[in-house]
A and B are shown apart, each in its own frame.
Chain A
Amino acid sequence: MTDAAAPGKEEVRVGAAPIDWIPIVLTATVALAALPLVGSFSTWVTLTVAGLAMGMMIFIMASGLTLVFGLMDVINFGHGVFISVGAYVSLLVLWPLSGWVNSPSVALNVGVFLLCILLSMAATGLFGWAFERVIVRPVYGQHLKQILVTMGGLIVVEQLIHVFWGPSPITIALPESFRGAIALGPGMVAERYRLIAVAVGLVVLIAMLVILNRTRIGLLVRAGVENPEMVEALGYHIRRLFVGVFVAGSALAGLGGVLWGFYQQTLTAGMGLQVLVLIFIVVIIGGLGSIGGCFIGSLLVALVANYTAFLEPKIALVSNIGLMLIVLLWRPRGLYPVAGH
């Protein structure tokens, strides 16, 4: 409060809501800097589209985790398993409706895609509600036990997937009209499904921004991330809010699982844990609890992963770890640190 002690300053503190542009510019710079390294413009476009698609999917899956952490200081190591469950639940639609998947009709293709998403989100949302009650609630406020128990939950559910769907990987096919690529320009192609993933990601992002900025619930979530105690002191039950966010975050992880499953076209029970590793890197880079940071972090991680996979496949594996270390050296609390965390 040193600035308050200077009376003259009282009147001059005017400006727009402070947005930190540096990480955004950085992400764009990374993308542009990759262009001369990649060499060919059309390859660069392909890689960038792939990176954006992957980034959008990671963002969808990571957003729930970061909000849950921000709101209640709960780090859910079980979050990854919602991704697996979401992907596997889509099989309940894909297997009986394989005719729709392979039909040339765009309407049927979109229909089966939407059905997968709806069913998976409903299932993972419900599952998230149960997970919160059974696994997370008893160890609320105890970080050590939280990590242990949620990780235990991940193992158990992963094994249950093996029990229900068998241990071997399951391949799934994209709906007929989602396959292949479309030309963006001379010599430039982008896979259709990647563009669809980007579109779905944008819809989720916009919906999330509208909810967070234009509704009372959204205001409460943002306020709660910053100062949960004060939200309670204003008379709101943060627990209920938290359960709601947990369920929504789980449903988003389920949606991400469906998208990721189609992207990989192979489902394994362990896919969630694999993605969870990326998600952790993303939320650490972005700043735990920050939605904006989560978005920028997702794009940054996915773009770097795609560029390095093309340039030097051997180091692609560790590129994300390297990226995380660099960011932490620069900003130890992540790109967009959240007050109080």
Chain B
Amino acid sequence: MSDALLTLEGVHTHIGRYHILQGVDLVVPRGGFTILLGRNGAGKTTTLRTIMGLWRASQGTIRFAGADVTARPTPDIASAGIAYVPENMSIFSGLTVRENLVLAARAGPLQAGKLERIFSLFPALERFYGLAAGALSGGQKQMLSIARALIEPRDLILIDEPTKGLAPAIVTNMIRAFREVKKAGATVLLVEQNFMAARMLGDTVAVMDDGRIVHHGAMAELAADHALQHRLLGLHLDTHQ
């Protein structure tokens, strides 16, 4: 598996007395989008948080770029080249848009080139550059959260349900931005409930249920196989188009 950027082997995670992840095996290949699908409570968010070290795997191994990162502290995992866009966005609302980006660009001062790229993806951020992030709208906050992950080149970006609760027009914008990101060759592990968005972006797909990966394969395969979709996701494609 020379092309595997991130591998999870038999990962278990407990939160308090709850056993959330029950042996997750997942491979994220280098380049392209891997989509993590599954119903609410299947363990998608927990998977991302466990990769980041925000929750600790009680068993199993997580390898990133060949190194075992299972027990590493979160900042070290981030420094190794993983960016994280959590579900609730977690922008620093008391800081300005600029300050949020300054902190995300760890290397030093913000470079004009990098900023231009961000602004071309998310023009709203340029407009509100000096404004407190807390004053942004929900969609803009989400963009800022994603921008923080893109401002520096990262080997892997974990994104948790970026389109959740956003208006359709904004979702369209966001998908457009993700396509740009994809074109630039980034590797993304994306948790997405919106199957339409998932189908448009995904190269590979993993489906979770009850703390395990129940399906792993190419996106095209799942997109073409309605029976499989129905079995795994319980959805009829027609109603989602």
Direct contact of A and B (CB under 8 A): yes
Residues of chain A touching chain B, judged by Cβ–Cβ distance below 8 Å, are 1, 3-7, 9-10, 13-18, 216, 219-220, 222-223, 225-227, 229-238, 339
- In the complex, whether B137 has a CB less than 8 A from a CB of chain A is yes
* Bound-complex Cα distance A10 to B100 (A): 20
- Do A230 and B99 contact each other (CB < 8 Å), given the known contacts A7-B167, A235-B106? no
- Is the pair B165, A234 in contact by a Cβ cutoff of 8 Å? no
> Complex Cα distance A299/B99, Å?
29
The verdict on A1 contacting B93 (CB below 8 Å), with A17-B131, A233-B78, A234-B104 known, is: no
Chain A CB within 8 A of B120 CB:
no
B13 vs chain A, min Cβ distance (A): 16
| Chain A residues within an 8 Å CB radius of B106 | 234-236
Query: Do B138 and A222 have beta carbons less than 8 Å apart?
Result: no
Closest 8 CB pairs of A and B: A4-B138, A235-B78, A17-B132, A232-B74, A1-B138, A230-B90, A1-B165, A223-B92
Residue from A10, A225, A227, A229 with most neighbouring chain B CB atoms (10 Å):
A10
- Give every chain B residue within 8 A of A7 (Cβ-Cβ): 167, 169-170
- Check: B153 CB closer than 8 A to any chain A CB: no
Are the C-beta atoms of B74 and A4 separated by less than 8 Å?
A: no
Given contact pairs A10-B139, A17-B96, A230-B92, A216 touches B102 in the complex (Cβ within 8 A): yes
Verify A235–B92 contact, CB threshold 8 A: no
> B138: nearest residue on chain A (CB-CB)?
A4
A9 to B135, CA, bound (A): 12
Task: Judge whether B86 and A230 touch: CB under 8 Å.
Answer: yes
**Bound CA span A238–B103, Å:** 13
A226 with B135: CB separation less than 8 A? no
**Minimum CB–CB distance for B51 against chain A, Å:** 11
Interface presence of B122 (CB below 8 A): no
Contact between A4 and B166, CB atoms less than 8 A apart: yes
B79 in contact with A15 (CB, 8 Å) = no
- Known A7-B170, A226-B92, A229-B90; contact A234-B148, beta-carbon cutoff 8 A: yes
Question: Contacts of A3 on B, CB cut-off 8 Å?
Answer: 137-138
| A13 close to B75 (CB less than 8 A) | no
Interface residues of chain B, those whose CB is within 8 Å of chain A, are 52, 54, 73-75, 78-79, 84, 86, 90, 92-96, 99-100, 102-104, 106, 124, 128, 131-132, 134-140, 142, 148, 164-167, 169-170
User: In this complex, what residue of B is CB-closest to A12?
Assistant: B137
B residues less than 8 Å from A18 (CB atoms): 132, 134-135
B84–A233 touching, CB < 8 Å: yes
| Distance in Å: Cβ of B79 to nearest Cβ of chain A | 5
Task: State whether B95 touches A219 (Cβ < 8 A).
Answer: yes
CB distance from A48 to the nearest CB of B (A): 31
Contact B103 A220 (CB under 8 A): yes
Q: A4-B170, A226-B93 are in contact. Are A13 and B137 (CB under 8 A)?
A: yes
Minimum distance in angstroms from B123 CB to a CB of chain A: 11
Q: Could you pull out 18 A-B pairs where Cβ atoms are within 8 angstroms?
A: A4-B142, A4-B170, A5-B167, A6-B167, A13-B136, A15-B135, A219-B95, A219-B102, A225-B94, A226-B92, A227-B92, A230-B86, A230-B90, A231-B103, A233-B54, A233-B78, A233-B86, A234-B75
Bound CA–CA A237/B104 (angstroms): 14
A14 adjacent to B128 (CB under 8 Å) = yes
Contact A4 B139 (CB under 8 A): yes
Bound-complex Cα distance A236 to B79 (A):
8
Nearest CB of B to A154, in Å: 31
CB closest residue in chain B, given A223: B92
> A232–B78 contact, CB under 8 A?
yes
Q: Is the CB of B135 within 8 A of A222?
A: no
Q: Across the interface, which residues of A come within 8 angstroms of B75, CB to CB?
A: 232, 234-238
Give chain B residues whose Cβ lies under 8 Å from the Cβ of A227.
90, 92
Contacting residue for B137 out of A10, A235, A237, CB 8 A: A10
Q: Is the CB of B54 within 8 A of A229?
A: yes
Residues from chain B with Cβ under 8 Å of A15 in the complex: 131, 135
Q: A13-B137, A232-B74 given as contacts; is B169 within 8 A of A216 (CB)?
A: no
Provide the residues of chain A in CB contact with B128, threshold 8 Å.
14
> Residue among B74, B139, B148, B166 with the most chain A CB within 10 A?
B74
In Å, the complex CA distance between A14 and B106 comes to: 28
A17, A225, A231 pick with most chain B CB within 10 angstroms: A17
A152 to B84, CA, bound (A): 40
Of residues A14, A219, A233, A238, which shows the largest number of chain B Cβ atoms within 10 Å of its Cβ?
A: A233
Contacts of A237 in B (CB 8 A): 73, 75
Known: A5-B167, A216-B102. A234 touches B78 (CB 8 A): yes
Contact of B103 among A6, A219, A229 (CB under 8 A): A219
Q: Which residues of B contact A220 (CB under 8 A)?
A: 103
Check B135–A17 contact: CB distance below 8 A: yes
Contact A234 B137 (CB under 8 A): no
A16, B99: Cα distance in complex, Å: 15
Q: A1-B165, A4-B167, A339-B93 are in contact. Are A234 and B136 (CB under 8 A)?
A: no
A-side contacts of B99, CB under 8 Å: 219, 223
Closest A residue to B52 by CB, please name it: A233
Q: Is B165's CB under 8 angstroms from A5's CB? A: yes
Q: Give complex CA distance A18, B135 in Å.
A: 7
Q: How far is the CA of A36 from the CA of B140 in the complex (A)?
A: 50
New contact pairs (13) apart from A230-B86, A237-B75, CB-CB < 8 Å: A1-B138, A4-B137, A4-B165, A5-B138, A5-B166, A5-B167, A16-B131, A223-B95, A226-B92, A232-B74, A236-B75, A236-B103, A238-B75
